[in-house]
Structure 1
Amino acid sequence: MSYKQAWQDAARQVESWKAAGKSVVFTNGCFDLLHPGHIDYLHKARELGDVLVVGLNDDDSISRLKGATRPISPMADRTVMLAALKSVDLVVPFSEDTPLALISTLLPDILVKGGDYRPDDIVGAKEVRDNGGVVTVIAFVDGHSTTALIRRIQAVG
Structure 2
Amino acid sequence: MRNLLDRENVEKFISDLKKQNKKVVFTNGVFDILHVGHLTYLEEAKSFGDILVVGINSDSSVKVNKGDKRPINSEQDRAKMILGLKPVDYAVIFDEKTPVEIIGKIKPDIHIKGGDYKKEELPETEIVEKNGGTVEILSFVDNKSTTGVIEKILDVYGSKNGK
What TM-score, normalized to structure 1?
0.93
The match for 1:44 is: 44
The match for 1:7 is: 7
Q: Distance in 2 between matches of 1:110 and 1:122?
A: 14
Match of 1:101, SS?
helix
Does the alignment pair 1:153 with 2:153? yes
Q: Is the 8 A contact 1:113 1:122 kept in 2?
A: no
Does the alignment pair 1:129 with 2:129? yes
How far apart are residue 29 of structure 1 and its match?
0.6
Aligned residue type for 1:49 = G
How far apart are residue 133 of structure 1 and its match?
1.0
Q: Is the 8 A contact 1:41 1:140 kept in 2?
A: no
The match for 1:106 is: 106
Q: Is the 8 A contact 1:37 1:145 kept in 2?
A: yes
Identity %: 43
Q: Distance in 1 between matches of 2:83 and 2:116?
A: 26
Superposed CA RMSD: 1.2
For structure 1, the 5+ residue unaligned runs are: none
The match for 1:27 is: 27
The match for 1:83 is: 83
The match for 2:160 is: none
Structure whose alpha-carbon radius of gyration is higher? 2
Q: Is the 8 A contact 2:83 2:89 kept in 1?
A: yes
Q: Is the 8 A contact 2:56 2:93 kept in 1?
A: yes
Match of 1:25, SS?
strand
How far apart are residue 106 of structure 1 and its match?
1.0
Q: Distance in 1 between matches of 2:92 and 2:150?
A: 25
Q: Distance in 1 between matches of 2:67 and 2:124?
A: 24
Q: Is the 8 A contact 2:10 2:105 kept in 1?
A: no
> Paired residues, what number?
153
The match for 2:72 is: 72
What TM-score, normalized to structure 2?
0.89
Post-superposition CA distance 1:34-85 (Å, at most 9, x none): 1000000011001001111111001111111111110011111100000011
Q: Distance in 2 between matches of 1:10 and 1:52?
A: 13
